Amino acid sequence: MKPIILILCTGNSCRSHLAEGILRRALGDGFTVASAGSKPAGYVHPLAIKVMAEIGIDISAHHSKHLNEFLSQDIETVITVCGNADQACPLFPGQVNRHHWGFDDPAHATGTEEQQLEVFRRVRDEIRDVFESYASGRKDQEAMAKSMLPLAAQAYSDGRQDENKTRP
């Protein structure tokens, strides 16, 4: 079973979807990545979809979800990307890890569409830097764990053999 990583934000309309798309691409198929909100907006912001398309990630099929949809799932890691979600975050069954990385909410950007896009791009790039680094670390952990299994099995086997030698 693949570990589930849940990214939470208040509205689940911008930051959490940016992070979900970036992390899903960075991690590949070894993980399930999802996002949700404590007070879902009911839509994914069109400018979030647009700035993700600029970097080759399609989030147009994403939809806004409430975090309660995930309470019965075995969530391995919860990552909050805004302060309100961090404060409202419940403990999920099976949760092993919890991280909080706060980012500005691009949905509050004002001005022309181009000025708003600049804010969305900045936040997207900040999220990309953090989540790609996180993904790299997770991949390193997975690779190390896989390489350690044969060593652990051998050490166990060696210990069992030593144990058998000392018995009368």
Question: Which candidate in 9, 33, 34, 85 is catalytic?
Answer: 9
- Concerning whether 89 is annotated as a catalytic residue, the answer is yes
**Catalytic choice (14, 67, 89, 123):** 89
Per the annotation, the verdict on 82 as an active-site residue is yes
Handedness of CA 64, 113, 22, 80 (dihedral sign): negative
Q: Given phi > 0 = left and psi -120 to 50 = alpha, else beta, which region is 12?
A: left
Residues forming a β-bridge with 8:
36, 80
**15 residue type, one letter:** R
Q: How far, in Å, CA of 75 to CA of 91, rounded?
A: 9
* Spatial distance between the Cα atoms of 60 and 25, rounded to a whole number of angstroms: 15
18, 57, 82, 127: the catalytic one is: 82
CA distance 26 to 21: 9
Task: Indicate if 14 belongs to the active site.
Answer: no
Q: Which residues are catalytic?
A: 9, 82, 89
